Amino acid sequence: MKPVKRVLTTIAIVLPLAAVVGLGSIAFYGSRPTFPEQFSVSGWKVGGMAYADFPRQLSRQVALLNSVPVQLLSNRKDVPSRSQKLQDLGLRVDDRELQALLHDLTKGNLLDRARNRWKLRHYEAKIGLSIEADQLDKKLQSLWPELYAVQPVSAQRIVTPDDRVQYKAGQPALRVDTSRLKADIERQIRQIDPKRAENPLSIQVPFRLQEPEVTEKMLRGQHVDRLITQFSTPLNQSSPGRRHNVRSTAATLHEVILKPGEIFDYAPIIEQTGVKFGFREAPVILNGKLVPGVGGGICQVSTTLYNAVLRAGLEIVERRNHSLPISYAPLGQDATFSTGFINFRFRNDTKAHLLIRTEMSDTALTIKLFGSVPTDTTYEIMSNTVETIQPPVKYVHNPGLKTGEQVELSPGKQGFVVDTYRIKKQGGKEVSREKISRDRYTPQARVVASNTGVLKPPVESAPPQKNVIEDGVTQNGSTP
């Protein structure tokens, strides 16, 4: 039994001692202050290098990369070749993986550090090298300012005096293809030998044509092919202020284009006109009466547009007639406007873009719509007066008259109820008839002065009306 006991005693002594020796070796291995022997960084062998020396060596390698000259070779006579350092072209160094590995090798307990050291003994860490696109583009613009000074010229849609639609092609501009150049530089820098990092790179500059914002293809794709319809309203004896308001609003409306399905809104047109041109004094309609004001005439533009829209067969979204009959359009075929109360809106329900153009002469305002609709389809507008409303009589007391005497001060005007229809024709034959609206125009009272000889108690005044200004923006310069 003694030999067995001796063996057991020896084992009891040797095993702990071996454990202590093993732990000591692991601790020593994990605490070594150098990289694992076969560790490398993007082809740069750093195995055995002290951790403390590595940041300085890494900074040196990055500095070498930044200073690598890049020859940008141009094959165009009008664009000279240039040379720049990598750092000026937007070199970016990403060492996040390397820093994470350094943390694993130098931080934590000795057992984890030893395990990580063993795992990384043949590892090659990667440093990401890339070119920052915005910095590269800015540098290219500074290298070839003459090249970038030439801007693309957009294509144009031209409407001739006889209303034919033509196109003028745009002009592209030559540019360095930044994306391709960036990829070419990045491909070469990833192949740089760290031992020969100072050797220059030679890269053929790729070029491209920068198309203008608006190309002929884009314009033709809108299918503004021809004049669809037009409508004119007379200016009659318009005052200078009213002419200014009509002309200015028409100028804002000119060249407005609507996409298929888009809704036209007249309110922003008025707002923009006020900002760009301002409105001048001209009569407006206030609560059903013609009074002095500012902006008179803006509804002649909306009315003219409304009539063109009706005859193009477009969908009316919102529209209201004037409270009083107007002189420049048939009853039932007008469209008034009042900021915040009454608007005019329609939808381009065709499959093409819709172009609005305006023309103004000394005698008339004309609005034309261009787009694409079947050539055999036309529309006619018919308005019928279904009721004539006689003006009420308003008596005013005049004690200067003889008792029972009456004097007409104002003859008044009739009011009307009007139905309007849109008749669709194909090949000259009617295919449908659509009721567009029933409109009521308020009669204006006949005013008569009289003296009955009997004084009546004053009539209680009606509650004040909310001011609704039509065909203008303000009354006597005050906001409505």
- CA contacts within 13 A on the Cβ side of 201: 26
Which two structure tokens, joined as six digits, stand for 43?
């082809």
Of the listed ranges 110-114, 166-170, 207-211, 371-375, the least confidently predicted one is 110-114
pLDDT the model gives residue 479? 38
- The percent of residues in the chain predicted with pLDDT above 90, rounded, is 69
Residue 21: what residue type? V
pLDDT per residue over 266-321, tens digit each? 999 999 999 999 999 887 887 667 788 888 899 999 999 999 999 999 999 999 99
pLDDT at 380 exceeding the cut of 80: yes
Report domain extents, the chain: 40-153+174-210, 222-470
pLDDT the model gives residue 132? 95
SS3 354: strand
Find the mean pLDDT for residues 439-443.
Answer: 94
Q: How confident is the model at residue 477 (pLDDT cuts 50, 70, 90)?
A: very low
Average pLDDT score over the chain: 88
Residue 13: what residue type? I
- Which H/E stretch holds residue 433? strand 429-441
User: φ, ψ for residue 167 (rounded to 5)?
Assistant: -135, 140
3-state secondary structure labels for all residues of 212-228: CCCCHHHHHHCCCCEEE
Nearest alpha-carbon partner for 395 in 412, 408, 385, 386: 408
Nearest alpha-carbon partner for 373 in 333, 422, 306, 314: 314
d(CA 336, CA 343): 7
Q: How confident is the model at residue 168 (pLDDT cuts 50, 70, 90)?
A: very high
Residue entry with tokens 């030559």: 174
pLDDT per residue over 171-225, tens digit each? 999 999 999 999 999 999 888 775 565 678 999 999 999 999 999 999 999 999 9
Of the listed ranges 30-39, 130-139, 379-388, 400-409, the least confidently predicted one is 400-409
pLDDT the model gives residue 478? 44
What angle is formed at CA 34 by the lines to CA 31 and CA 35, rounded to 5 degrees? 110
Whole-model pTM: value is 0.74
d(CA 184, CA 241): 65
CA 101 from centroid of its chain's CA atoms: 47
Q: How confident is the model at residue 386 (pLDDT cuts 50, 70, 90)?
A: very high
pLDDT the model gives residue 18? 46
d(CA 170, CA 143): 26
User: φ, ψ for residue 309 (rounded to 5)?
Assistant: -65, -45
Question: Is the separation of the CB atoms in 441 and 386 below 8 Å?
Answer: no
pLDDT per residue over 322-341, tens digit each? 989 999 999 999 999 999 89
CB atoms within 10 A of CB 241: 18
Using DSSP, how many helices (H) and how many strands (E) does the chain show?
11, 28
User: φ, ψ for residue 430 (rounded to 5)?
Assistant: -70, 130
d(CA 245, CA 294): 9
pLDDT the model gives residue 292? 83
- Which H/E stretch holds residue 380? strand 377-389
Find the mean pLDDT for residues 57-84.
Answer: 92
d(CA 253, CA 358): 7
Q: How confident is the model at residue 157 (pLDDT cuts 50, 70, 90)?
A: very high
d(CA 191, CA 230): 68
pLDDT the model gives residue 9? 53
Q: How many residues does the chain have?
A: 480
Question: Is the separation of the CB atoms in 57 and 48 below 8 Å?
Answer: no
Spatial CB neighbours of 416, under 8 Å, sequence gap ≥ 6: 325, 331, 385, 387, 388, 389, 439, 440, 441
Phi-psi region of 295 (alpha: psi -120 to 50; beta: other; left: phi over 0): left
Residues 6-24 as b or e (16 or more Cβ within 10 Å = b): eeeeeeeeeeeeeeeeeee
More confident residue, 27 or 257: 257
Find the mean pLDDT for residues 352-359.
Answer: 98
Question: Is the separation of the CB atoms in 41 and 69 below 8 Å?
Answer: no
pLDDT the model gives residue 199? 75
